[in-house]
Structure 1
Amino acid sequence: MLGERNKHNLGSLREPFKLKEGSASFETRTTLREFEDNPDKIVREEPMINDSIDESIIYYSNLRKLFEEMCNKYGINMPDIDMVIGEKGNGQKYVFMVVDKIEGENLVNLQSLPEKEKEKFETFYLGLLRSTFDAYKSRKPFFSDSVDRNIMYGHKSKEKDGQEDFFLIDVGGDGFIREKGEYIVYDHEFFAHVFCTELDLHDFEIKFGENVVLGKIRSKLDEIYRYLVINKRPELKDFFFKSQSGNMQIFLNKLTKSFNF
């Protein structure tokens, strides 16, 4: 579960929280800040949608529902999420997303994966793949930002004795691909995401050691490939025709050899 929330918070304009000076860190388009009086939470400063409170309420409420489904239906660990619209000192409005602080090791820096942790990683990553694939088949928004820097192995700071597990930590507003998104070819974005997942999996197996073969994840990828070859052949051909990446030739060869593309 993503935790209990005041459902009215997102629409309640008020002064921002008391945040630590000099505590800012940055993602692609988001500033992360720490509280003065709550070390277990961090605040993401997310942009307003078209500078409109109404549009922002709709957008971020829907965003929270998407993350709730990933958590509740697919078992993907992530921070609890709460949101409020407020103003900074200069009067500019932001959506302040309050999330749990996750303590642990970023997947980028994780250099080993003991056998007892392999199942946790497979379960977590398989949940990401299942969530993405199911959403794509239903033409719904799918999460495409499951890169290693957005995954941590650890626990929620507020749960000092919590069991270590894998968490999706980037719950910001721009990680989903939508079918009618501006300048986005929905199918092509999904193909690219799946192929990048295959490359990531290969890197994980190399980094974690030759004995770590993430078979359940590979089986799910093969299921996705079979679905695409059967149901999305014209779209795949168009994707490979337009692709400028040398890596895509690897996947074209794989689909041709293993899945009769």
Structure 2
Amino acid sequence: RHGARSAVAPWDDPLSIRYMEVMKEASELGLDLDRLFHPDLPDHERLAIFDWFRAVHQSVRIPMAYAIPTAEAVHIIGQFSPIVEIGAGSGYWSRLIRERTGSIVFAYDKSPCLGVHRCDHIPTIIESHPDCSLFLCWPDQSDMASTAINAFGGEIFIYIGESIGRTVHGDFSPMGDVAFHLYVNRHFHEVLRVPLPNWPGNQDCLSVYKRSGAITLMMGETGNVETFQHVPPSERSDLFTASELGWRILDKTADMIASSNT
């Protein structure tokens, strides 16, 4: 089938191992994680999932990282060295990228820790690394992400999180502020997106964006000023996409076409 890929598999790093352990525990507890937001799920079952997830959040996500690594994701990011990461948290991803790929990663956060430098003023930090790609992983909903992307003048932006139209949480996802998502959509184009293992209720992926060329034109008799992006053909993503249901629709469509031709 067009575009088919193997299932996303967690890696052998400590976070991935812990992720597999707690997901197995959830299964053994009978938690129906795939139906977390299903309208028909009984309230007591949903509350049980939330209670389980709160415990996981405190014991796994906060001390380690929110996003679950894969070998593929880490080695994709490593290709764009040197890298500056803003909002690095515990520094888990930046350390993993350094250790597994040998890439140069400068990690910053408002709360510094081992391997993560203090970030007091985001534009100054980014300007001090003019040759770096920018990396944001699960940015919070403050203006951190929009401040970083606006200050960034480079070509490659690497993002782990949800985005416009790819979230079950509102319009723009709980990652980054609205201004951030609009800026990325306006000034960059996605050249690669790969899935990651997800926590229940999330659809975060690894995306590699490249800065778009742009032209501003005066259009029509009214002289409206409009901006158009230029994306080279080799950098345009495949527009084909299909879920399991979508494939069933396509299979039925193929059968209908075959029948009409007989």
The structure having more radius of gyration, on CA atoms, is 2
Greater RCO structure (CA 8 Å; 6+ sep): 1
- If the length of structure 1 is used for normalisation, what is the TM-score? 0.25
